[in-house]
Structure 1
Amino acid sequence: MTVRDLRAPALGGAAWLGGIAAAVCPWWVPLGVVVGTAALLLRSRGAGPLVAFAAVAGVTLLHGTALASGPVAQLAQKRAVVGAELTVTSDPRPVAGRFGDLVVVRARVEQLTGRGAAYSLSTPVVVMADASWLGVVLGERLHVSGRLGPADGDSAALLMVRGSPDRIEGPDVWWRVAAAVRGSIRESVEPRQEDTRELVPALVVGDDAGVDPALADDFRTTGLTHLLAVSGTNLTLLVGFLLIASRWAGVRGWWLHGVAAVGIAGFVLLARTEPSVVRAAAMGTVALIGMGGNGRERGPRALGVAVLALLLLDPRLAVTAGFALSVLATAGILWLAPLWRDSLRTWLPRGVAEAVAVPLAAQVACTPVVTALSGEVSLVAVVANLLAAPAVAPATVLGLAGGLVGLVWMPLGQVVAAPAAWSVGWIAVVARRGADLPTAAIAWGTGPVALLLVTLVCLGLVVVVPRVLRSPLAGVACSVLLVVTVLTRPPTPGWPPSGWVLAMCDVGQGDALILRAGPHEGVVVDAGPDPALVDGCLDRLEVTRVPLLVLTHFHADHVDGLSGVLAGRTVGAVEVTALGDPPDGVEEVARATGAAGLRPAVAAYGATRRVGDVTLQTLWPRPDVARFAGDLGEDGSAANDASVVLLAEVDGLRILLTGDIEPPAQLGLSRLVGGLAVDVLKVPHHGSRRQDLGFLTGLRARLALVSVGADNDYGHPAPELVTALESAGTEVHRTDLDGDVLVVVRDGQLGVVARGGVGRRR
């Protein structure tokens, strides 16, 4: 590639650096570059990259200043109550908040009144509202009142409103058409199974609101996440098909450019005009150029121009992971894939060589960023993308075609969309089976050294891979080695340590504990929120038989991982609390246990039994738990306070497992077992602030275990709780800092061994 060919990519790279510098450096650094560039241009030629750097840095500074100094931001600092007319710029999305479910909507404020003044403006905000906002439509103009608050990122403020909005004006016609098509796509696959009917809209237009979180996690593990979001692939497939159909219909010359432009505009409207969609459309356009005549030269030039244009339009993209992944994947496909394809063509057909080279190049280019986000390196991503690739095009094109035909006659639209449903069914199988492999991904870490190392490895692969792929023997040997690696669970020398009696698994924001009942046997108390995490923990502990599984209550962070406990293990009995709340959790437990041929029984209050090496006594809940829970009001704590509380004894240690009981149940329990002393306490409710500190410190535990997710937004564990326990002489261990935590007894001495987070999937 000549220097001339690199000029446009250099502009794009410099622009990207300018956006990053302006976002992370003190304001005077990029400002100095802008001024210096202006002076240099008076005396120099060929300073294009420096101009691009300065231009994007300058736009970023102006954009940030406008957001921070405008009337919306100023009123937000004062937390003013305001009235506003705004236009909705995103679909409403429900999210779980600390004090209940919320609906989040992005909007653009156009009229604002507050603190005795009125303003006409155009400023982005994030609206936080109640469930009545689920019915708002993209493009609607609304009148609302609420309180402003400071916001981070690309919005001037948070606008917290109560009640339903007053509708001033409906969306423009193009938004109504786009909404009709999106609705028709969903309706065309409505008769299909749940995963299928949610995946088709996700693949076609990025509408992933209903995708099962567990399935989405499997897509992340197998490197297929890009299929669930709006990406350049969507646009390339849809507009590419439109161009092929137009050629077949006789369209030629510049008319094809017009068709492509209409297709790109239509795609953006369907997928929404959010920054991520505009970015995806730009990268998809670059891919189309790269597939055209003289694409190996025109594609990189188009990429450089696209990066520069996107950052001038929206400089916030420079520091977003989605932008980085899109640019790197496109660059990998444009620069690396042709070379690697040519290497493979020495012994493979062109089609096979291209099918392998494209996902491999994109994966290598994106791996450093993906690792920084997830702390993992996927080993199955290339194979998963290769297996899923044949199904992506029919799923995307026929999914859209089914929606368009459905606007005219839905029964025919459902027929057209049927192959799309079958195709996404196959993709779901690839994701699930790939994620279930013993070593689908390896934990890597997100520290500077770890990320530098993975980046150096990827750069090394750029040099080595063409030579390896050129040799049939080396290529096959590497493929066999990869297959053996993903099918074999890596050894964990020294784990589990001898003498372990209790394990607190790192399952994120949830509980999963194992009491050692004998060789390869464990009593499991709660299953956490993620089947893969609890399954991995049990595998590392070499637990193959579970004589007793206790689910303290039915919240998702304690029962959603149940299938991971049941997978490949012999389970003797399942016990649950008497309070069947919440219903979703009850249904999940019934489904999973029913599939395994098990029938849960209510844990008998006061019962003492021996399970292998474990002695268990059920201390709580009382037989009148339903009436007790009814006295608690509607603050959401009834299910927590109905948690099964167990007193266990293993190898001479007394261990109290408390589920998520809160102060009312803790008070009731203290009255029943006054003077109880234990060696190990599992801290209730992940260390929340709602605790009876007198009861907990009065247990005189030597160890306190807190099962809690890293960077959770609940503030768990509460600092005052940790301080109180430590002040009482209790040693506190927590999964967000220590990873898997094992309590061990050696020569009569109590100790703790931790894995430091190995095996986490965050």
Structure 2
Amino acid sequence: MPRSPFPPSATPSFSRAAASLLGALLLRPLLWSAACALLGVMLGGQLAHAWHDLAREQAPIWLLLPFLVVGVAVACYFRHSPWLSRVGVAVAFTTLFAAHTTRRLLPPHDDISRLFANQSPRDQPLRSSPARLVGIIGDYPQRSRWNTRFPLDVETVNGNMTPGRMWVSSAFTSRLEVGDRIELRTDVRPLSRPRNPGEREGFWAALGARCWCQSGPLLELNVLKPAAAYPLERRIQGIRRTLLARYEWLFAGDEDTLAKRPYPRQNAALLTAMVWGENGLRDPLPQQTRDDFRAAGLSHLLVSSGSQVTALAMALLLIGRTFRVRRAWLLLLVVPGLVAYALIAGAAPSIWRATAFGILGAICLGSGRDLDLLSMWSAALVGLLALDPTLAWDLSFQFTFAAVCGLIVVAPVLFRAIQPLNSGKLGQLAAMSLAAQAATWPLSLLHFGTASATGWGANFLAVPLAEILVFAGSIGLVIPWGEPLYRLTGAVSSLASSAAQPAGALVEDVFWPTSWVWACYAILAMATLPLADEWDELQTGAKQWLEKQRANLFGLGPKVIVAGLVVVALAVTVSSLWPSSHTLRVTVIDVGQGQCIVIQDPSGRAVLVDGGSLDGRERAEIGAAVIVPALQHLGVTRLDFVFLTSPDEDHCNGLRRVLREVAVGAFVDGPKAGETPNGALWDELGQAELLNLRREVERLGVPVVVPHVGQEFPLGEARLRILNPQLPLAGSQHDNSLAMRLEWGNRSILLSGDLEREGEQRLTRLGLPLNCDVLMLSQHGSSTSSSPDWLNASRAGAAIVSCGRFNRLNVPSASVLRELAVRKIPLFRTDMDGALTVECDQNRCSVTPQTP
């Protein structure tokens, strides 16, 4: 046991147990090194975000040099102090990882992404410019039901040599493989970054593949030369296909065999996924199988990780002992075997983590050292982040390290609580299952908004079966025992299906913010701390420390205590008199080709105006994918009103999800029966989404309000004044859309709805108050609206248009952009700026884009 770094006189007096924990931290340098590496990676990510317009060679990374020098100087000068020297090392280590991460996230100066950087002028519609590219598929294509994604090593662009990598998403059904040289025609776009409050970053898979740009929709794709490069990867792919063919051969048979063992191909693919991982399968697993495993909390069984590596390592050790291989020579057997397995299994982050664990364990066993699992966990974390810092944002990386940390730290503590019930293998297995689930639940709710309620029990049964299956599946490549393998595969599949059946097995659409995740982990740590061995001593030491502090407080003189109370009273008084934030906030959410506006007054009351998009089929269900997370991020727990300005789908197809997730005071609808001059109602315009929305409003019992001109809806100190529809109603549904003026003191924002030029002229002739600080352009900036008279009447200080990137309607139109430029009205666009936040105080209004 290493000697404590604390000299006897320096041992903290508050508790010997606390001192022992601090000493354990110092005696595990890899543990705090892992914390420094994570901190440096996060800092490097922030720096890369701030310098995203710069190339790798242009970024001022030299600004980090003083921190590195100071850290090294402190570590050397205070080398005899156990704490100060480690502080210096920690600063230097964090700085190195920050610099390394920043360089890794920024593209080189000659990358293709720099050539196609988005320099579209703001006074023109955002149009795509397709280019013809030739390149080689640089990694195993990732296949799903909807598309195939892969990195492309670009060779030429429009016939010119252009180096770099591009992330391609192809809806083509061509059998693309790693190493194929292909030709495609598409436009090159920057990576999609978060464009809304609460939106998750989805570009890390591309950055992990060293791609700094992505393709748009593919207009053409041709395979020029199969197997043009990457011979090793193709050979590994061939080995995986051979393994799959072997399992299919074991499961297949004549008609009598098929009667007993149906679906041999699907079961062989499932066995391959559980033994060798799903990466690299020619065809993805059936969606029903994936959904069952996800609902049962067993998705980790479809990814190569610790279970497979443990089984392989045990098999290799068993072989070594059978042939009486010396302990030191076992490294020559275990290390190549684990590395070969990692390559065949697809080289995912989870498999490299498990491989690193296996290699470190083999080194410890070979050298006769004790195994410290927490240090091994830290070494694997530091090593992988040093190789590629982008792994920190990889979901597989986060889940696998969280689960293993739960097994190392939480499982032993839980086992102590379970020991009175069962102190054997079942108790250990139950503790491990609970610990792994508790460690990964918060991450699942953060990234997917889902968590398995039955996973606690399903893993208790499935994990042992899966480990047996991994071992049997590996041996099955040599011994032809098709029947046992089929039964084991079917048992795991049936268990997943059964665990997914109960109502509420999968908790869905519960997205947690990052702060909740950290709070959950803090609660988990505090909940398990009383079960730790050192708890009694820590509790006693804490009480002694509090008693000492109280004695010190009462030992102070009365004058000191009175002076302290006076200072506190003055601070409270000043803080209460200090002017608080008195700001009206309006957020225009980027929903693509649609519209959604959130209004929040200083008191916290909120209103939603519209919520729909024509991009919903491409971006999943727009309400669940974009609007609800944005409302949650903005802190909206109740909507006083939901306004629908137009019956079109791009205004309403996301509101049903909002009504199910957030309490709504009233729904403000459009014209009703008998109110249109030609009898054409919003209901009868073929808008199925509108009819479904109204049914949902009726089912939930939300009060419905039909507005009239001049009506005011209070929102704290602000108010929404209705300007349209005017009576008698116009013949165009768009000219009957809801137009409002948001008024707050001397500041105002004009929400134009879907008005066309005839409706705008009608309001202009009536002399209604149209002047505003910010104008929301109607019809997404179409040429059918935003007439010169309307812009003159608004006298807007700024204009906002909500439209989709590279939309097919070519909005905002060039004519509207010209009119705005003539009047020198600044324009903010969701297709270029992402979500837009308008903040108004009593003096002015400012507009802040989501993307820099």
Secondary structure in 2 matching 1:334: helix
Q: Distance in 2 between matches of 1:295 and 1:343?
A: 30
Q: Distance in 2 between matches of 1:386 and 1:292?
A: 32
Deviation larger for 452-461 or 148-157: 148-157
Correspondence for 1:59 among 87, 95, 100: 100
Map of 2:557 onto structure 1: none
**2:623 maps to 1:712:** no
Q: Which amino acid aligns with 1:204?
A: V
Q: Distance in 2 between matches of 1:181 and 1:375?
A: 33
Aligned length: 500
Map of 1:148 onto structure 2: 188
Map of 2:29 onto structure 1: 7
Q: Distance in 1 between matches of 2:181 and 2:136?
A: 6
Q: Distance in 1 between matches of 2:368 and 2:528?
A: 23
Q: Deviations over 1:704-742 (max 9, x none)?
A: 9999899527899999x9643289999994225534765
Map of 2:713 onto structure 1: none
Correspondence for 1:125 among 166, 182, 185: 166
Secondary structure in 1 matching 2:161: strand
Map of 1:489 onto structure 2: none
Correspondence for 1:158 among 215, 226, 231: 215
- Taking a change above 3 Å as real, the CA distance of residues 158 and 238 of structure 1, as seen in their structure-2 partners, is farther
**2:90 maps to 1:90:** no
Secondary structure in 2 matching 1:133: coil
Q: CA deviation at 1:249?
A: 3.0
- Confirm or deny: 8 A CA contact 1:722 1:732 kept in the other structure: no
Q: Distance in 1 between matches of 2:331 and 2:237?
A: 22
Correspondence for 2:150 among 98, 106, 113: 106
Q: Distance in 2 between matches of 1:711 and 1:185?
A: 34
- Taking a change above 3 Å as real, the CA distance of residues 726 and 105 of structure 1, as seen in their structure-2 partners, is closer
Secondary structure in 1 matching 2:223: coil
Alignment of 1:180-191 (within 5 A): 180-189=239-248
Q: CA deviation at 1:200?
A: 0.8
Secondary structure in 1 matching 2:174: helix
Q: Which amino acid aligns with 1:107?
A: P
- Confirm or deny: 8 A CA contact 1:341 1:357 kept in the other structure: yes
- In structure 1, runs of 5+ residues without a counterpart are 98-103, 407-415, 471-685, 688-702, 751-762
Q: Which amino acid aligns with 2:222?
A: G
Secondary structure in 1 matching 2:239: helix
Secondary structure in 2 matching 1:725: coil
Q: Distance in 1 between matches of 2:427 and 2:703?
A: 60
Q: Deviations over 1:31-65 (max 9, x none)?
A: 75554123331343453332332222111111122
Q: Deviations over 1:510-533 (max 9, x none)?
A: xxxxxxxxxxxxxxxxxxxxxxxx
Q: CA deviation at 1:226?
A: 0.7
- Confirm or deny: 8 A CA contact 2:31 2:378 kept in the other structure: yes
Map of 1:618 onto structure 2: none
Q: Which amino acid aligns with 1:372?
A: L
Q: CA deviation at 1:390?
A: 2.1
- Confirm or deny: 8 A CA contact 2:307 2:467 kept in the other structure: no
Map of 1:311 onto structure 2: 385
- Confirm or deny: 8 A CA contact 1:399 1:417 kept in the other structure: no
Q: Distance in 2 between matches of 1:364 and 1:727?
A: 41
Q: Which amino acid aligns with 2:273?
A: A
Alignment of 1:266-665 (within 5 A): 266-275=340-349, 277-282=351-356, 285=359, 297-342=371-416, 344-345=418-419, 348-403=422-477, 416-442=481-507, 444-447=510-513, 450-451=516-517, 453-464=519-530
- CA RMSD across the alignment: 4.7
Q: CA deviation at 1:259?
A: 1.6
TM-score (norm 2): 0.50
- Taking a change above 3 Å as real, the CA distance of residues 326 and 290 of structure 1, as seen in their structure-2 partners, is farther
Q: Distance in 2 between matches of 1:233 and 1:297?
A: 18
- Confirm or deny: 8 A CA contact 1:328 1:365 kept in the other structure: yes
Q: Deviations over 1:253-296 (max 9, x none)?
A: 23211222112221122122355543453356567789999997
Correspondence for 2:72 among 41, 46, 60: 41
TM-score (norm 1): 0.56
Q: Distance in 2 between matches of 1:40 and 1:748?
A: 64
- Taking a change above 3 Å as real, the CA distance of residues 130 and 15 of structure 1, as seen in their structure-2 partners, is same
Q: Distance in 2 between matches of 1:202 and 1:731?
A: 38
Map of 1:743 onto structure 2: 699
- Confirm or deny: 8 A CA contact 2:416 2:531 kept in the other structure: no
Q: CA deviation at 1:89?
A: 0.9
Q: Deviations over 1:55-109 (max 9, x none)?
A: 2211111112225762344246485624434243113525426xxxxxx242352
- Confirm or deny: 8 A CA contact 1:234 1:284 kept in the other structure: no
- Confirm or deny: 8 A CA contact 2:75 2:89 kept in the other structure: no
Q: CA deviation at 1:438?
A: 3.7
**2:347 maps to 1:253:** no
Q: CA deviation at 1:209?
A: 4.8
Map of 2:231 onto structure 1: 172
- Taking a change above 3 Å as real, the CA distance of residues 210 and 186 of structure 1, as seen in their structure-2 partners, is farther
Q: Which amino acid aligns with 2:214?
A: A
- Taking a change above 3 Å as real, the CA distance of residues 392 and 368 of structure 1, as seen in their structure-2 partners, is same
Structure possessing the higher radius of gyration over alpha carbons:
2
Q: Distance in 2 between matches of 1:434 and 1:293?
A: 44
- Confirm or deny: 8 A CA contact 1:340 1:466 kept in the other structure: no
Q: Distance in 2 between matches of 1:722 and 1:748?
A: 11
**2:659 maps to 1:734:** no
Q: CA deviation at 1:439?
A: 4.2
Q: CA deviation at 1:315?
A: 0.9
- Taking a change above 3 Å as real, the CA distance of residues 718 and 456 of structure 1, as seen in their structure-2 partners, is closer
- Confirm or deny: 8 A CA contact 2:317 2:330 kept in the other structure: yes
- Confirm or deny: 8 A CA contact 1:185 1:404 kept in the other structure: no
- Taking a change above 3 Å as real, the CA distance of residues 48 and 451 of structure 1, as seen in their structure-2 partners, is same
Deviation larger for 322-331 or 275-284: 275-284
- In structure 2, runs of 5+ residues without a counterpart are 1-22, 53-61, 77-86, 120-128, 192-208, 249-260, 537-593, 596-610, 628-642, 662-695, 707-852
Deviation larger for 722-731 or 156-165: 722-731
Q: Which amino acid aligns with 2:497?
A: R
